[in-house]
Amino acid sequence: MLSCDGRILEANESVRSLTGCRENDTAFSDLVVDFAGTFNLMDLVQARSGPHLLNIKTAAGPPQSYDFYFEQVQNRILVFGRLDARELARMQKQLLSLNQELNNLTRRLHKQNAELARLNQEKNQFLGMAAHDLRKPIGLVLTYSEFLLDEAARDLEPEHQNFLSTIHDRSLFMKHLVDDFLDVSAIEARRFDLNLQPADMPNVLSKSLEINRLQARKKGVNLQVDMDPCQKPVVIDAPKIEQAVTNLVSNAIDYSRQGDTVRVRLFCRPDHLMFSVEDNGPGMSRQDMEKLFTPFGRTRTKKTAGEKSTGLGLMITHKIITAHNGKLHVDSAPDRGTTITVTLPQRCQFEIPEE
């Protein structure tokens, strides 16, 4: 219903939903898209004949065509509108066309997803085969270089000793790279299975730290360990947890300077186990923390001695911990160091039955 000056006094819910108009605040002419510039409300009211085809602005965006009838009753104007039949047919045709296009796009998407899955499977197979074939020759180079360093290094010139040390270090890096590729291949192929067995958590941490102690000693970083005695064994895949701990501690050492301290703590609680790795290195921003456990994730923080890494170790660590129903929490800020805390829930623990 309109006033004599064309202002909307009352509108049903369909009108409000279609146009977003508000009564007493909108003129009917404000809703009309007047392409020809000839719209005159009173001419339409006095003409009485109908319907009158008008294009109406919509809250959703594009205008729609409606057939309107106008009837003046005393000092009010009644307006009745219905969607133009031709417009309705056009919209239905457009909707069918869009639906067909959507179906075609969906079929293409399914086809492309299937092709991507096939290519990803082939990539994983190639990655696993290549890494497996590389492991043996790299292992031989590493073993022989270690033997020469232990048995014959003192008989070599300093320059040759340096060559041998470089061969050993690069071979060790390549071994870690191959191992990481094998782990990633297994993860993406959904073959990352756990061999759960009862284990003593302090002993597991001690084993993993043996490797890190040599790394810390070479770099002049203090490795401090505090462990609670655990009364119960924990059901875990011990080699994989050792790998996770080694990755976390090694990463902390990489970002530490000479004289810094890396602290490893183990807390045994009735309902959970928790261990943390803390360094006082350069720390990270929130943006860097968000990509910390992503494949090949690179942060803007540089390692203090330019150490090389595959960019996969922390992603694999995250997979290991979450596969144990555990959680990782990162607390870090620029110039404040980093603490990564791992929590394993109570259901990982078990009592050894008496024989």
pLDDT tens readout for residues 77-97:
888 888 776 766 776 787 788
27, 108, 118, 179, 210 from 245: Cα distances, Å = 71, 44, 34, 16, 11
**Is 60 exceeded by the pLDDT of residue 300?**
no
Q: Name the region of 109 (left: φ>0; alpha: ψ -120 to 50; beta: rest).
A: alpha
Quick one: pLDDT at residue 94? 79
Q: What is the mean pLDDT of residues 56-81?
A: 85
Q: What is the mean pLDDT of residues 246-259?
A: 87
What band does 36 get if pLDDT is binned at 50, 70 and 90?
confident
**Is 50 exceeded by the pLDDT of residue 354?**
no
Quick one: pLDDT at residue 171? 79
Q: How far is it, in rounded angstroms, from Cα 141 to Cα 143? A: 6
3-state secondary structure of 71: strand
According to CATH, the topology of domain 2-83 is Beta-Lactamase (3.30.450)
Structural class in CATH, domain 197-348: alpha beta
* Nearest CA-CA partner of 314 in 332, 236, 199: 332
Mean pLDDT of the chain: 80
Q: pLDDT exceeding 90 applies to what percent of the chain?
A: 1
Quick one: pLDDT at residue 87? 66
Say if CB 297 and CB 311 are below 8 A apart.
Answer: yes
**Span 152-203, pLDDT tens digits:** 777 778 888 888 888 877 777 777 777 766 677 666 666 667 788 888 888 8
Phi/psi for 31 (5° steps) reads: -90, -15
Quick one: pLDDT at residue 120? 72
Quick one: pLDDT at residue 302? 56
Q: How far apart are the first and last CA of the chain?
A: 90
Read off the DSSP letter of residue 347.
Answer: G
CATH of 109-188, one of 2.30.31, 1.10.287, 3.90.25, 1.10.150: 1.10.287
Which residues are paired to 345 by β-bridges?
A: 272
Quick one: pLDDT at residue 257? 86
Most confident of 177-191, 256-270, 338-352: 256-270
* Nearest CA-CA partner of 69 in 87, 82, 57: 82
Say if CB 302 and CB 283 are below 8 A apart.
Answer: no
* Nearest CA-CA partner of 197 in 247, 242, 227: 242
Q: Say whether pTM exceeds 0.95.
A: no
What band does 352 get if pLDDT is binned at 50, 70 and 90?
very low
The domains of the chain are located at: 2-83, 109-188, 197-348
C-alpha 255, offset from chain centre: 24
User: Could you tell me which residue, 48 or 104, shows the higher pLDDT?
Assistant: 104
What band does 68 get if pLDDT is binned at 50, 70 and 90?
confident
User: Could you tell me which residue, 293 or 52, shows the higher pLDDT?
Assistant: 52
* Nearest CA-CA partner of 218 in 149, 171, 178, 169: 169
Q: How far is it, in rounded angstroms, from Cα 355 to Cα 352? A: 9
Say if CB 209 and CB 263 are below 8 A apart.
Answer: no
Q: How far is it, in rounded angstroms, from Cα 111 to Cα 257? A: 51
Q: What is the residue-wise DSSP string for 220-284?
A: T-EEEEEEPPPSS-EEE-HHHHHHHHHHHHHHHHHTPPTT-EEEEEEEE-SSEEEEEEEE-SS--
User: Could you tell me which residue, 127 or 151, shows the higher pLDDT?
Assistant: 151
**Is 60 exceeded by the pLDDT of residue 30?**
yes
Quick one: pLDDT at residue 350? 44
Quick one: pLDDT at residue 21? 82
